[in-house]
Amino acid sequence: MIKVQFAAHPERWDSYRPALETAFAAAQLQVDLRQDHPAAEVDYVIYAPNSDLQDFTPYTRCKAVFSLWAGVEKITGNTSLTQPLCRMVDPGLTAGMVEWVTGHVLRYHLDIDRSIATQDRWDPVVPPLAQERPVTLLGLGALGTACATALQRLGFPVTGWSRSQKTLTGLHCEHGAEGLTRALETAQIVILLLPDTAATENTLNATTLAHLPKGARIINPGRGPLIDDVALLDALDSGRIAHATLDVFRQEPLPQTHPFWAHPRVTVTPHIAAETRPLTAARMIAKNIQHGESGLPFLNQVDRQLGY
Ligand code: NAP
């Protein structure tokens, strides 16, 4: 019997338990799933950093820790966690992110705000076609690539930027510091889907924001520290950046006193772009346990050096 510990916020147990049991049965895995196994007996931990479990030292036979979250910046600093750590790549979460990003891109592209603001007059302004609206995705991982592909299917010319060089059909791919400058220079809409690491902090700062064309819009469903808040506020105040939609922040919940709340050129959403969905996430976890039990490399393993 494989002993799996569920270590997430207790209120998640009721939604995850049936999904995990179904997925384990479908994968023909004999699993004893609990929240209270003795630590030294646990084979795998399903983990969210807001659980009580912070010290992994007693988990001496644990073969892997499966994060329920795609972003692992709150876990990678835990020095007691020496087991392989896998981040969440979940088709349900990805679908949610594609919908959220596409919706906010189309809001900007079609200038839906203008339609809402001009309900008192007949004032036709026809939006351009998607093919005339270059979009840049910073981050071409599981989520960035899915969003880039969806936007490309709608006709947007999409440029993507990643750490390593990539070749993706139909996308213009850039990497490195010079690649970032090129990726920003033409972008009318920029979407950030990078992980929060030492190397990605303030990816958008006063210097890089200055590479964007006047009137560009920014959508950040990645992580708060990817953007220098002060530099963004300066660019918004001067009108160089027309608008920003921000889902993630350095401090969450975003403090009521933060200038983003009242800024006329900012839309705040409360970290709701995409959530892990128990049904599809459970299948991914079952698949990864199958990998572990048959000696195959774990899927979506975090590189501790890179931090994602
Ligand atoms: P991922 O698969 O790990 O992809 C990360 C991408 O970022 C990769 O393309 C990677 O480049 C690139 N990257 C990393 N460091 C870089 C650097 N220094 N310079 C340039 N590119 C760099 O991650 P994911 O699953 O797509 O998720 C991305 C992020 O979305 C997560 O880390 C999380 O913070 C955020 N997220 C937010 C929500 C929400 O609700 N708001 C939900 C889920 C996730 P390579 O391809 O070269 O490795």
Question: Which numbered atom of ligand 1 lies nearest the CA of 145?
Answer: 26
Cβ atoms 45, 62 nearer than 8 A: yes
Q: Is the CB of 162 under 6 A from ligand 1?
A: yes
**Non-local CB neighbours of 116 within 8 Å, separated by 6+ positions:** none
Active site residue 263: no
Is the pTM higher than 0.85?
A: yes
Given pLDDT bands bounded at 50, 70 and 90, which one contains residue 178? very high
With vertex at residue 93, the alpha carbon angle to CA 33 and CA 154, rounded to the nearest 5 degrees, is 160
Question: Which numbered atom of ligand 1 lies nearest the CA of 146?
Answer: 26
Domains of the chain as residue ranges with CATH: 2-90+276-294 (3.40.50.720), 91-268 (3.40.50.720)
Question: Which numbered atom of ligand 1 lies nearest the CA of 164?
Answer: 47
Task: Pick from 163, 219, 247, 303 the residue to mutate for probing ligand 1's pocket: most ligand atoms within 8 Å of its CB.
Answer: 163
Question: Which tens digit of pLDDT belongs to each residue from 32-62?
Answer: 999 999 999 999 999 999 999 999 999 999 9
pLDDT number for residue 237: 98
Given pLDDT bands bounded at 50, 70 and 90, which one contains residue 18? very high
Question: Which tens digit of pLDDT belongs to each residue from 261-280?
Answer: 999 999 999 999 999 999 99
Strands 158-162 and 216-220 come out as unpaired
Using CA atoms, how far apart are residues 263 and 115, in angstroms rounded to an integer?
Answer: 20
Q: Is the CB of 222 under 6 A from ligand 1?
A: yes
State mean pLDDT over 233-244.
98
Nearest-CA residue for atom 22 of ligand 1: 163
SS3 6: strand
